[in-house]
A and B are shown apart, each in its own frame.
Chain A
Amino acid sequence: MHIFEGFLPSPWWQLWFVFSIPIIFFGMYRLNKLVSEKRELLPLLAVAGAFIFVLSSLKMPSVTGSSSHPTGTGMAAILFGPAVTAVLSTIVLLYQAIFIAHGGLTTLGANVASMGIIGPVFAYVIYKAGMKANINFYVVVFLATAFADWATYVVTATQLALAFPAEVGGVAASLKAFLLIFATTQVPLAIMEGALTALIFKYVIQVKSDALVELKVITESALNKIKGAGQ
């Protein structure tokens, strides 16, 4: 659930653009490099982008009595890094802002920051740390992508709290109110997204495991271990 059009006053909407635009450009540079140097990985890039398309279109009911949607960004973040994920998310957010009146053009900078950048950075960091700690690959994917999903909405709540501090209690009171709406609703969805992404990675390993090694997502020996375990 993205921030509506016009729901971030000055200077917040501009600030979030200032934050997001350099990273989007860096992502485009990385994407260009990837496309020209590793053409055979384009289908996997398309799959990661399409995964964001599918998951961010599914508005799911939550235990809190409201609905929200997963982000799907964790998969792209693990495979291609947060910067490339920012570009993919921008495409999805533009589509939703222009054609479905979901999110907005003036709030695009803020929405890319939460869904396309900060959430994916969480996925990336958790994934790398988890793999280094030698935790089971699928558990790491689950944790990384579930937390990326959840972190996205914690950021959204923070963005709104900064822009709309409560008269009594200021930013902290607002943050509590927005977290109650976004963060709690998102918990079951984030778990669902983590589980689905872990399952998708099982299929990626089945059909295109060499790409994971090439992208340095996983080492050859770790891959052999997973394959040997025979999921």
Chain B
Amino acid sequence: MKGEIIFGVIAVLFVASFMYGLAANPDSEFGGADGQAGDAIAEINSDYVPWTEDSWINSIKFEPPGGETESLLFGLQAAFGALVIGYFFGYYKGKGQSN
């Protein structure tokens, strides 16, 4: 139980730090750090245009039409991963008990 308790305490501290972040940044939408980096690049070099803008590279990729589809794909990614982890932990546990 000790491990779970320590993890729980750290998780609560994480949520508390987020709450503090909410209070300290009342206007923030908590956008991605990568987006902020994009803004910083624009500040350093305002002429910079991603050189792949009109490249064929974009045609082999799927661009989610909006935030909803994007969150679906991220959700699927997490669900798939969690499924694999749960399946094999269960497999090992069951195998260990039957021996």
Contact = CB atoms under 8 A, between A and B. Distances in A.
Interface of A: 1-7, 9-10, 43-44, 46-47, 49-54, 56-59, 61-68, 95-101, 104-106, 138, 153, 156, 160, 164-167, 174, 177-178, 181-182, 185-186, 188, 191-192, 195-196, 198-199, 202-203, 206-208, 231
A51 B91 CA distance: 16
A195 B7 contact: yes
Contacts of B21: 61-65
Given A54-B85, A68-B33, 10 more contacts: A7-B38, A47-B88, A52-B81, A62-B17, A62-B33, A66-B30, A66-B32, A95-B77, A96-B77, A192-B14
Contact of A50 (B11, B30, B62, B80): B80
B14 A4 contact: no
19 contacts: A3-B37, A10-B51, A46-B88, A47-B89, A50-B85, A61-B30, A62-B21, A63-B18, A63-B20, A65-B28, A67-B30, A67-B33, A98-B61, A101-B70, A174-B44, A177-B40, A188-B14, A199-B3, A202-B3
Contacts of B40: 160, 177-178, 181
Contacts, number: 181
Given A47-B85, A195-B10, A7 B80 contact: no
Interface of B: 2-4, 6-7, 10-11, 14, 17-18, 20-21, 24-25, 28, 30-34, 36-38, 40-41, 43-45, 48, 50-53, 55, 57-58, 60-64, 70, 73-75, 77-78, 80-85, 88-89, 91-93, 96
A156 B40 CA distance: 13
A58 B79 CA distance: 11
Dominant SS among interface residues on chain B: helix
B63 A207 contact: no
Interface core residue of A44, A167, A208 (most chain B CB under 10 Å)? A208
B90 to A, nearest CB: 9
Contacts of B4: 199
A104 B36 contact: no
A57 B18 CA distance: 19
Nearest to B61: A98
B34 A1 contact: yes
A67 B31 CA distance: 6
Given A63-B24, A188-B14, A192-B11, A46 B84 contact: yes
Given A65-B25, A65-B28, A57 B74 contact: yes
A100 B73 contact: yes
